[in-house]
Structure 1
Amino acid sequence: MSNLFEGPDGQSRCSWCASHPDYIRYHDEEWGYPVSEDQRLFEKICLEGFQSGLSWWTILQKRDNFRAAFEGFAFHKVAAFGQADIERLLQDKGIVRHRGKIAATINNAARAIEMQQEFGSLAAFFWTYEGREEARHIEGVPSVTEISKRLSKDLKKRGWNFVGPTTCYAFMQAMGLVNDHHPDCAHHAKVEAERAAFTPPVK
């Protein structure tokens, strides 16, 4: 299977987004572009946790429902969720109703507050794991890298849940910590230019 496909506008794109116009839009407008907003970073690491064992397409279709259910992923609000909120969310057909993943999101919100207090922002922490030295993989991208293993280990040490190395690498790809667009994808150079111009937050 080719790693590229030609979109409706004639541009080459990464083949994983070929199945639906919403997927193409996500690929073109979001995936790989550097993100420094804490709320978006928290949302993405949580949604990647919900994706575990599922497809990103499943999560993307439900993303607006997740945002409504989790207060827009404002982690200071989510950290205050209690048992009643867990039971409420388990009845919400618009999200993935997995008790462990719901509880992990609430736990991770509290851990995110601690991280923000320590580093000044979540972005200042996550961007220390930028993967500029990661080689791009023309024959396909990996699901785990040494950097994602280190990030996963660090997050787990800090008490985060559902943050395995595969989850962490998917998060890194989406939030621009690496550029895993195929070198011949029309968006590879655009992402690389934004990453080059991006100044990672510091503590």
Structure 2
Amino acid sequence: MSRSGPGAELSRAGPGVRVWDPVVRLFHWLVVVGCLLDLAILDEGEAPHRWVGYVVAGALAVRILWGFVGTEPARFRAFVPTPAVLLGYLRDRIAGRARIYRSHNPAGAVMMLALMALLAVVSITGIMTTTDMFWGVGWVEELHEAAAEAIIPLALLHAAVAIIESVAGPVNLIAAMITGRKRLR
């Protein structure tokens, strides 16, 4: 594992490097709770389901804005990989020599972008279903449901990898998303 890459400033000593600011962490946990509520607990179309959806949509809007004006690790330019960077990371990962990244690693960045895109589709179509123009329109409801259901396997994969990396990897990613700091074990 190389320590010369984007995560070279991480160390085992001290409290760790500040990575995830409060905006990023609040967005993450609001989305986790919101998705659990809307996908598993609340009834579709009812007022609580809609209000949770509005909160998630608002959090997503703030996070997208924060991706351009927020702290450096939160900015999209700090972690969105090119295809070549992603493929290189995956090759290195398979070979057992993955680098440590201060922000998202390339695979994590792609997962985050995919989940954000699905949240955007769910949010937009959810809002559309509350308007006179699109209420009861089949394709809007179908797209809303399909995008919401696509979040489930991706979110489960994301959570599983974060848990595995936190237990077996050099950085506890879950702790970093709670404290905002990353450090090597």
TM-score of the alignment, normalized to the shorter chain, above 0.5: no
Give the TM-score normalised by the residue count of structure 1.
0.28
The structure with the larger Rg is 2
Give the TM-score normalised by the residue count of structure 2.
0.30
Decide which structure has greater helix share: 2
